[in-house]
Structures are given as structure tokens and as C-alpha cells.
């Protein structure tokens, strides 16, 4: 049925406003709080976390939702500025500038990957720090400071420094954390952890939070190294997402400490702008130090989990394998055994385990021991052989034995045993069909050549008789090929019955047959004469007389010559009147 237009056109995706709305609400909350705490109502906030909320939305949602997220973010910026600052027409521009720097950072990061994980590895983390922590806030700071000069008469350079430091700090510490919440990363991570691991994660987060509170709640000692130490412990034990949460803890506590002019950073006494830039650099160093550790631990844990899954899968495959696998040490003792040993060799795994290979060879087959010796003597090759286990003699097993090497030193052997009874039977049947004439069910020319090849090793007297059906073409033309085929089968049946098990008969092609007779020429002549007489008694159809002509020759040392002589004598029989056997020498 043809496709209509409705079939070819995919239904449009529904626009989801919830993420954009949540981002805008967070934006308004962060913007209002930071302006009230870190700004005098005219200057830029020293800490600006709001833009991180919208950037997290952009990095976690499809680009079709970006315009709505940016529009809501602009509205939230305008609302927060109108609520906390003296009104000036220029504050309308602040939201546009902030959304512009958010769009710049989001576009560049999403250009690298459609589903980017900000801090998944060191290159991505460095790219995020460069674009979101340097380029985007610097571009926004230039335009935003110019607006502040016009709006409030602020000096450009201090305004630029406050804008850049505050926005860069917010991007760096909060965007990864919020992005992981928006895209469900934290929910997935928590579900993937065991209850014991969740308890440990919670305890480590509380410990890290306590260390951070102690560090930034006093101004007597420069303890900035302490949160870094607890963050590294968190990274090693709990991974990347917990590390992001730990950095947010430090960022929030450090920002609060900066507002109230306490903590180790306040010991610098270089002004709020310098302290903000210093604290931003401190957080960047924390990320740069902790994230590679977390990534390494995560990759190691993933590798271990993958290895465990592979080992479990391999154990399941071996346990349910129709084959049997035995591993022997260099001394020939069975170290481990898997697979269907009971079904294949009639021995349980318990009997095979720790048993010497010589003992197993007595119970199974000497072939097992000989293959192991060959594998130890030639470690680079695999050694194969068929055997019939002592307890199951009707079964054919294929055994492959290979040496196990460690640092070019033979440390043992591995034997794989599989049941090839049906396969060998099929192979024998295929081999039989290859040397069998499909019509008469006796041997064909290839079967005759094999018989001659085997016969060369015997010195006993033998002869070759070749015969065909007289006027067979006329029979086919008059009575049809169906009658001709039946006559061929009847002749083959007669000759096969007379040949018995001692002699050999084959159809060379057409109506020509050959017999390999294990007797001298005189006895062979009597046998072929008997065949000729019994064929003459056949009655395929009324009026269809069936006779054969034959030539016979001694086999001698040269089968080719014997066949040629017998063939010439066959044609002599035909020229002499047919329905006779010629054994004369000429």
C-alpha cells in the first residue's frame, strides 16, 4: 500500500516548558540573593550564580527549547534587577547581555557533542573551563560594564572585573551540578549505587561539608588545602557527580564567607574583586585536581565491572557449553574443568578435577595423553584428533589440545572436547555420495579409482572386466529413458549380487560398467559370463531384449593398461556379434 503524507511526516515534538520555567525560577532566586548580598544596588554582584541555571538548561535540553529558556531567563533577570536596584532603562539590557553570554557558552559546548557531559573527562572539562569560565563571561563583562558606565557612572575596569569574576565563578561551580540534576544524572547515579554505597556517599558529603564549614567559618588559619583533601577523598570513593556536589559546597560556603568578609580568602586583604578572582582560581584548581582523579576512579570501576560481567558471562557460557574444557598444569594435573564432561566422556567434573592426565587417559582414551605430549613438545601449534571414549564407544569426540604460555614459558595445556558423532557421520555420508552413482546406487568412476588405488598394495591376482548394454541407445529411443534407467538399475543389481563382498562393481557412465575381480583371468571370465547370462534373462518390457558385451584383462602392475586392454576387448566383443565376453590376448 502506498505511503500517504501522514505516514511520511513525523508528528511534531511537544514543546516542554517545565525545564525553562525551573531554570528561570532558579535564575530569579540566585540573582536576587546575590545582588542583595554582594552589590550596593549600582555595581555588579561579586558572585553571580544565576546564569549557570540557564546554561545548565541549554546543555541538557534540545535546541528547540533554547529560545524559551533564554526568554524566561531574560524575564527573570529583569525581575530581579527591577526588585533590587534603582530603576534605570539600561537594566533591560543586563538580561540580554547575560543571556548572550549564556548562549555563547552553550552553543560552543553543544557544537562539540549533542549530549555533552561537561566534566566527564579532562579535555571536556578544560574546554568547559575555557569557554564558560573565561571567554563567555569576559565577552559579557565588556558589554555589561559599558552599560554600567552609562547607567550608573561606574568605572569601567572595576566594573569589568566584578562582572567577569562573579559570572565566571557562577558558571564554573554551579553549571555542572545543575546540569546533572536537569538531565537526571544524579537520579541514575543514586539508583545505580548499592545501599551501603549510598550511606558511604552521604557520610563523605557530610564530612566534606563539615570540613568546608570549618575552613570558611574562621579567619585565623589559611586552611584552603583542607577542602581539597576531603574533595579528593570524595572523588576517589564516590565519583564525579559527588565531586561536583562537593565543589558546589565549597563555592557556596566560600561565597557566603566572602559576603561576610570571613574565611581564609579574607586574609588576603586585597579587596572584594581580587578576592573573588582568587576564589574563582581556587575552585578551578580544585576541579582540575579532583576531576581527573574521579574520572580515573570511574574508568577503573567501570573496567572492573565490565571485567566482572565478562567473567560472569564466560562462566555461564562454559557452565552451559555442550563442549568440555579441561585445563592441565605443566605436570599434567587437571586444574579446572567446565562443560559437559558427564555427557561427553562419562566422567563428572569432580572426578576430572585434580586428576593426572595419565589417569584420565586410561578412563577416556590414550589419545588425550598423546595429544598433551605433542602440545608440550610443540607449543606453537594446536593438536587435534578424534577419539572414542572408553565408556561411550559409539560416540566420536574431537579433542583439540593447545599449550598455555606465560612469558614464552609453557605453564600447562588446555584440552577442548566436543561431540562430532553426527558431523563425522555426515562427512562419511558425503564421502559415500561422492563415490556413488545416484541412479544405480553402486560406485561411480571416482569410487572405482579409489578401489584401484587401495588394490595396488595387494599382490594377489586380479582382473578388470568392462561391460556395457548392447544397443542401449535403441532401447532408450524406442522405450524411453524411464525404461532405460530401470534396465541400468536391474543390470547393476544382477552384477552386484554376483560380485558379492569379495569383488567390486562400479558404473563408469552411461551404460558402461566395470568390475574389479579378486581372482585370476579364468575365474574372472566365469564370473562375468554368469553376469551376462543372468542379464540375458532380464525382461524389462515385452519385446525389449537385454544383453551385454564384456571385455576382461588381468590387472597386473599397471591398472591404466589393464583398463585399456579390457576396453579394447569389449569393442572386439561388439564387433564379433555382441552378447559375449572376450578374454583373448591380441
Nearest to 547 by CA among 573, 584, 508, 565: 573
Superfamily of domain 435-582, CATH level 4: Reverse transcriptase/Diguanylate cyclase domain (3.30.70.270)
List the strands of the sheet with 581-582, edge to edge: 504-509, 512-517, 463-469, 548-554, 581-582
Task: Name, in order, each residue with C-beta under 8 angstroms of 25's C-beta and a sequence gap of 6 or more.
Answer: 76
Per-residue confidence in pLDDT tens, the chain, 586 aa: 343 444 444 444 555 788 889 989 999 998 888 888 777 666 667 778 889 899 999 988 888 889 999 999 999 988 888 888 776 676 778 888 889 999 998 888 887 665 667 766 667 777 787 888 888 888 888 888 888 787 767 788 878 877 887 788 788 778 888 888 888 888 888 887 888 988 998 999 999 999 989 988 888 888 888 888 888 888 888 877 888 788 888 877 887 787 677 888 777 777 666 776 677 678 777 777 776 777 677 667 667 777 777 877 777 776 777 888 888 988 889 888 888 888 888 888 888 889 998 898 888 888 888 988 888 888 888 899 998 888 888 889 999 999 988 888 888 899 998 989 899 889 888 888 889 999 999 999 999 998 888 877 667 889 999 999 998 888 888 888 888 899 999 999 999 999 988 999 999 999 999 999 999 999 999 999 999 999 988 876 666 788 999 999 998 888 899 999 999 999 999 998 899 999 875 4
Which own/partner contact pairs does 280-285 have at CB distance under 8 Å and 24+ positions apart?
A: 280/133, 280/165, 280/168, 280/169, 280/172, 282/224, 282/254, 283/169, 283/172, 283/173, 283/247, 283/250, 283/251, 283/254, 284/129, 284/133, 284/172, 285/228
Task: Name, in order, each residue with C-beta under 8 angstroms of 312's C-beta and a sequence gap of 6 or more.
Answer: none
Q: How many CB atoms lie within 10 A of CB 422?
A: 9
- What is d(CA 43, CA 84) in angstroms, rounded to the nearest whole number? 12
The number of CA neighbours under 13 Å toward the Cβ of 376 is: 15
Superfamily of domain 324-423, CATH level 4: PAS domain (3.30.450.20)
Contact 375, 383 (CB under 8 A): yes
- Packing angle, helices 225-238 and 195-216, rounded to 10: 170
Q: Which three cell numbers stand for residue 252?
A: 557556596
* Matching residue, cell 533590587: 84
Q: What is the pTM of this model?
A: 0.51
Contact 576, 582 (CB under 8 A): yes
Rounded to 10 degrees, the C-alpha dihedral 192/197/200/201 comes to -10
Amino acid at each position: 500500500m502506498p505511503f500517504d503524507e501522514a505516514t511520511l511526516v513525523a508528528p511534531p515534538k511537544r514543546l516542554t516548558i517545565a525545564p525553562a520555567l525551573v531554570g528561570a525560577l532558579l535564575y530569579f532566586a540566585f540573582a536576587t540573593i546575590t545582588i542583595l548580598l554582594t552589590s550596593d544596588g549600582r555595581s555588579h554582584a561579586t558572585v553571580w550564580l544565576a546564569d549557570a541555571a540557564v546554561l545548565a538548561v541549554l546543555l541538557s535540553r534540545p535546541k528547540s527549547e533554547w529560545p524559551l529558556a533564554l526568554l524566561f531567563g531574560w524575564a527573570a533577570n529583569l525581575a530581579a534587577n527591577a526588585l533590587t536596584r534603582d530603576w534605570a532603562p539600561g537594566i533591560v539590557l543586563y538580561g540580554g547581555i547575560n543571556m548572550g553570554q549564556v548562549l555563547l557558552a552553550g552553543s560552543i559546548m553543544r557544537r562539540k557533542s549533542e549530549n555533552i557531559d561537561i566534566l566527564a573527562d579532562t579535555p571536556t572539562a578544560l574546554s568547559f573551563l575555557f569557554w564558560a569560565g573565561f571567554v563567555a563571561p569576559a565577552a559579557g563583562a565588556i558589554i555589561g560594564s559599558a552599560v554600567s558606565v552609562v547607567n550608573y557612572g561606574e568605572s569601567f575596569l572595576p566594573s569589568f572585573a566584578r562582572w567577569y569574576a562573579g559570572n565566571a565563578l557562577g558558571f564554573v561551580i554551579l553549571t555542572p551540578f545543575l546540569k546533572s540534576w536537569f538531565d537526571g544524572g544524579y537520579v541514575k547515579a543514586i539508583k545505580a549505587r548499592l545501599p551501603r554505597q549510598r550511606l558511604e556517599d552521604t557520610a563523605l558529603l557530610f564530612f566534606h561539608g563539615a570540613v568546608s564549614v570549618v575552613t570558611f567559618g574562621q579567619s585565623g588559619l589559611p586552611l584552603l588545602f583542607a577542602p581539597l583533601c576531603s574533595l579528593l577523598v570524595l572523588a576517589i570513593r564516590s565519583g564525579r557527580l559527588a565531586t561536583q556536589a562537593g565543589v558546589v559546597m565549597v563555592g557556596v560556603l566560600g561565597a557566603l564567607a566572602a559576603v561576610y568578609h570571613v574565611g581564609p580568602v579574607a586574609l588576603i586583604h586585597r579587596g572584594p574583586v581580587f578576592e573573588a578572582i582568587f576564589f574563582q582560581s581556587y575552585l578551578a584548581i580544585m576541579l582540575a585536581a579532583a576531576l581527573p582523579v574521579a574520572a580515573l576512579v570511574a574508568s577503573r570501576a567501570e573496567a572492573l565491572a565490565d571485567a566482572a560481567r565478562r567473567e560472569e558471562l564466560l562462566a555461564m557460557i562454559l557452565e552451559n557449553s555442550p563442549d568440555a574444557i579441561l585445563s592441565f598444569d605443566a605436570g599434567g594435573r587437571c586444574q579446572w574443568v567446565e562443560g559437559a564432561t558427564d555427557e561427553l566422556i562419562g566422567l563428572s567434573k569432580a572426578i576430572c578435577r585434580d586428576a593426572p592426565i595419565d589417569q584420565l587417559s586410561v578412563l577416556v582414551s590414550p589419545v588425550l595423553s598423546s595429544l598433551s605430549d605433542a602440545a608440550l613438545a610443540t607449543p606453537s601449534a594446536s593438536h587435534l584428533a578424534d577419539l572414542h571414549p572408553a565408556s561411550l564407544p559409539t560416540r566420536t569426540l574431537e579433542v583439540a589440545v593447545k599449550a598455555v604460555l606465560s612469558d614464552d614459558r609453557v605453564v600447562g595445556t588446555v584440552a577442548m572436547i566436543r561431540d562430532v558423532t553426527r558431523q563425522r557421520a555426515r562427512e562419511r555420508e558425503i564421502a559415500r555420495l561422492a563415490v556413488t552413482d545416484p541412479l544405480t546406487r553402486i560406485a561411480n568412476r571416482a569410487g572405482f579409482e579409489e578401489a584401484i588405488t587401495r588394490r595396488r598394495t595387494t599382490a594377489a591376482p586380479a582382473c578388470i572386466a568392462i561391460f556395457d548394454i548392447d544397443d542401449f541407445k535403441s532401447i532408450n529411443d524406442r522405450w524411453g529413458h524411464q525404461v532405460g534407467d530401470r534396465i541400468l538399475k536391474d543390470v547393476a543389481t544382477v552384477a552386484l549380487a554376483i560380485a558379492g563382498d569379495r569383488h567390486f562393481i562400479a558404473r563408469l557412465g552411461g551404460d558402461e560398467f566395470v568390475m574389479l575381480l579378486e581372482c585370476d583371468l579364468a575365474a574372472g571370465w566365469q564370473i562375468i559370463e554368469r553376469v551376462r547370462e543372468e542379464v540375458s534373462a532380464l525382461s524389462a518390457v515385452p519385446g525389449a531384449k537385454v544383453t551385454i558385451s564384456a571385455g576382461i584383462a588381468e590387472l597386473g602392475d599397471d591398472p591404466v593398461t589393464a583398463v585399456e586392454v579390457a576396453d579394447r576387448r569389449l569393442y572386439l566383443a561388439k564387433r564379433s556379434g555382441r552378447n559375449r565376453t572376450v578374454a583373448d590376448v591380441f
